[in-house]
Amino acid sequence: MVTMKKRPFTKVLFATFFLYFFLVSIKLLEKGIKTLGAEYTDQLFQSVSSPFVGLLVGILATVLVQSSSVTTATIVGLVGSGFLSLTYAIPMIMGANVGTTVTNTFVSFGHVRRDHEFKRAFASATMHDFFNLIAVLVLFPLELATGFLRKLAISTTDIVIATGFTATKPNSPIKASIKWGSNSILDLLSKISFIDKLHEQSYRLYAGLVISLAIIFIFLSLKKIVSNMKSIMLNKIEFGLDKVLARGGGVLAIVIGIVITFSVQSSSITTSILVPIVGSGILSIENAFPITLGANIGTTITAVLASLAVDGPEGLTIALVHVFFNLISVAVIYPFKTLRNFPIKLAMILSSATVKRRYMAIVYVLVTFVLLPILGIVLFN
């Protein structure tokens, strides 16, 4: 049957505009933080007392905004401005990885009326949770003990800068255009009398306003990038997933997961698409698993893009930490069958229990993603 489709040209233009707006928002965040001043930011910084709290803050912040891209991009902005050190930013990035998995768990609730469907759907959602939790359990203590992720990311940053890649130079055309965009927004704000007065009376309140606006802009621009890119990439997503259905999982499925997520800038989109497919039984949970791992890797592109907007090389370093954390966790867990099946088995056990007692699904989400992080922050801070 013939169906009517829209031309994608406008969507490409929109996506490009919002990508630029996203980078400008990161720059705005950096400027807002710098306006606060080192003395004040040092006080705030001290309130995050341990890397463990950083991890929990990363989980909670991502659950609240329902997007690891927003959290990681914000973290890049905070690190790039010097507000947040790598010591605390690295666990936050790990926490963002865990927090983002709650979105597809919510999607699985849509299948709650049919036992078998819900069992598969919930397992396909929670295997992502378990994989990311296991990755944190293994790599977080290792990072605390050795700092291997930090060292690897710093060395890579040095190599990238040494290659003379123009985007990393402070006076690069990309950075200059982003700076122009953020200055234009600040000029516009100063023309609003209320904000202008606020600027004169309290630079801290003014900085708070700029930071809040920047975070709202990051959220909105990412939302628009994701929706536009998804509609542009629909055919490619369908093509890629159709290939996985035909051939099964494996490395191809990881690559497809990376490509889809890289294109739409959101791991939640990829993992949420998988939930009804696994729920209906046309894709096995084992074959969906590598796509999820690919989504973990693909989503790291957002932080790398965000690092183009910040002045300091630390922005790129924390973005690379995100890349290496996900690459290493997949490289460590996926090649070994026993390790690979472990998150799947845990997810199956949880989903079997949840089918018998539906309320457990809600309890699981609340405890894992809200109560434990809050409790941890209160106890360890």
Closest contact distance (angstroms) between CB of 235 and other proteins is 4
Asked if residue 279 lies in contact with residue 124, where contact means CB atoms within 8 angstroms, the answer is: yes
What are the tokens at 147? 């700092």
Q: Does position 277 bind other proteins by CB under 8 A?
A: yes
Residues contacting residue 181 through CB under 8 Å, at least 6 positions apart: 20, 21, 23, 24, 27
Question: Does the footprint of other proteins cover residue 234 (CB under 8 A)?
Answer: yes
Nearest to residue 351, comparing CAs of 237, 336, 343?
343
Provide DSSP, 42-82.
HHHHHTS--HHHHHHHHHHHHHHHT-HHHHHHHHHHHHHTT
In the complex, the smallest distance separating the C-beta of residue 280 from other proteins, rounded to whole angstroms, is: 5
**Residue 280 touching other proteins (CB under 8 A):** yes
Q: Give yes or no for residue 274 binding other proteins (CB under 8 A).
A: yes
Phi and psi dihedrals of 63, rounded to 5?
-65, -40
Which residue in 134, 67, 87 sits closest to 318, CA to CA?
A: 87
Binding of residue 13 to other proteins (CB under 8 A): no
CB-nearer residue toward other proteins: 210 or 295: 295
**Tokens standing for 55?**
């991890």
Residues 128-167 that bind other proteins (CB under 8 A): none
Q: Give the contact letters, 241-270, x = binds to other proteins (CB under 8 A), - = no.
A: xx--x-------------------------
Q: In the range 28-47, which residues lie near other proteins by CB under 8 A?
A: none
Task: Give yes or no for residue 7 binding other proteins (CB under 8 A).
Answer: yes
Query: Which listed residue (16, 43, 49, 235) binds other proteins by CB under 8 A?
Result: 235
282 binds other proteins (CB under 8 A): yes
Helix, strand or coil for residue 172? coil
Q: Which is nearer to other proteins, 57 or 278 (CB)?
A: 278
CA proximity to 265, closest of 311, 218, 331, 334: 218
Segment interacting with other proteins, rule: CB under 8 A, options 6-14, 248-256, 317-325, 351-359? 6-14
Question: Quick one: which segment of 156-164, 183-191, 236-244, 363-371 binds other proteins (CB under 8 A)?
Answer: 236-244
Give the residue, chosen from 238, 250, 327, 345, that forms a contact with other proteins under the rule CB under 8 A: 238
For position 239 contacting other proteins by CB under 8 A, the verdict is: yes
DSSP assignment of 143-206: HHHH-HHHHHHHHHHHHHHHTT-GGGSTT-HHHHHHHHHHHHHHHHHHTSHHHHHHHHH-HHHH
| Candidate segments 82-90, 124-132, 176-184, 271-279, binder of other proteins by CB under 8 A | 271-279
- Note whether 296 and 253 are within 8 A (CB): no
Q: Does 205 bind other proteins (CB under 8 A)?
A: no
Task: Count other C-beta atoms under 10 Å from residue 135's C-beta.
Answer: 23
Total residues contacting other proteins (rule CB under 8 A)? Answer: 24
Among 25, 71, 72, 272, which residue sits at the site for other proteins (rule: CB under 8 A)? 272
> What whole-number distance in Å separates Cα of residue 29 and Cα of residue 31?
5
Question: Which range touches other proteins (CB under 8 A), out of 58-66, 192-200, 276-284, 334-342?
Answer: 276-284
Kindly state the smallest distance separating residue 358's Cβ from other proteins, in Å: 22
Q: How many CB atoms are located within 10 Å of the residue 3 CB?
A: 4
Shortest reach from residue 49's CB to other proteins, in Å: 41
Count of C-beta atoms within a 10 Å radius of residue 281? 11
Nearer to other proteins by Cβ, of 6 and 191: the residue is: 6
Neighbour tally for 124: CB within 10 Å: 31
Amino acid at 27: K
Under 8 Å between Cβ of 88 and 51? yes
Residues lying near other proteins in the complex (CB under 8 A): 1-3, 5-8, 234-239, 241-242, 245, 272-277, 280, 282
